Amino acid sequence: MKTVQTFRSGTVACLFLFIIGCSCSSTKIQADMSSRQKMLKSFYPALTKITRFFGVNSKVKLPDTYVKAPASIYDYSFEAIDGSTIALKNFTGKKLVIVNTASDCGYTAQYEELQKLYAQEKDNIVIVGFPANDFKQQEKGSNKDIEAFCKKNYGVEFPLASKSVVVKGATQHPVFQWLSNPTKNGWNQQDPVWNFSKYIIDENGNLIGYFDPGVSPLSKDFMTALHSTHS
């Protein structure tokens, strides 16, 4: 498995992320942005540069060779944020990007990049966001709150799941069990390290990349993997 990491991690960046995480954790989720959420949105470009410079949350994992998954991702479904059920088999033949999200995180502005990507390529890809409260309690709101927040502030049109647990453990969502278990996906054991960890699944249902939160979905590394082809 290939691991790409631009710079070594540093104490300054870790402390920075800790401060951001603590400052986000007490904000109430609602449709309108709080002053803190506005501040975090404006600071997102600097956060991305700082964390990538220090090598924090900037890891990319790719398989050494193309790996066919032992278990099919298309056997899974998820509860959408509106309570309906969506089967992943509906997305056969398209690239699938799965990302765990949060409304009160330093990376929340990445919703804007994800929506831009979706708008540009929705004929060929599907993005599914899984809101999760696993990191510093940065997704405290209800499904209704989250949906309203995403639509009003970021114009999110791609599917959102009901709030889920994405980290390893007894209550981890089955989709993320598949994404982070090599006996199911064929090679990757990495579960999300923070909000906005991203996975790419190709048109045939095989996992072809994992990307840390600090890697933009519009970055060269991400887009290269997204547009890769396999026979």
Q: Helix/strand/coil (H, E, C) string of 100-135?
A: EECCCCCCCCHHHHHHHHHHHHCCCEEEEEEEECCC
Measured CA to CA, the distance from residue 48 to residue 43 in angstroms comes to 9
**What are the sequence ranges of the domains in the chain?**
2-226
CA dihedral (96, 99, 103, 105) positive or negative: negative
Please tell me the predicted confidence (pLDDT) of residue 183: 98
For residue 14, indicate whether it is catalytic. no
Nearest to 158 by CA among 49, 60, 55, 80: 80
Please tell me the predicted confidence (pLDDT) of residue 184: 98
Please state whether 47 falls in left (phi above 0), alpha (psi between -120 and 50) or beta. Answer: alpha
Enter the CATH code of domain 2-226: 3.40.30.10
Helix (H) or strand (E) holding 198: strand 198-201
Tokens at 24, concatenated? 């986000």
Measured CA to CA, the distance from residue 23 to residue 36 in angstroms comes to 8
Mean pLDDT, each 10-residue run in order, the chain (231 residues): 51 48 50 89 90 89 98 98 98 98 97 98 97 97 97 98 98 98 98 98 98 97 96 60
Tokens at 169, concatenated? 């453990």
Please tell me the predicted confidence (pLDDT) of residue 217: 98
Please tell me the predicted confidence (pLDDT) of residue 227: 97
Please tell me the predicted confidence (pLDDT) of residue 4: 55
- Write down the catalytic residue from 14, 22, 105, 150: 105
User: Beta strand pairing status for 125-131 and 95-101?
Assistant: parallel
Measured CA to CA, the distance from residue 140 to residue 157 in angstroms comes to 21
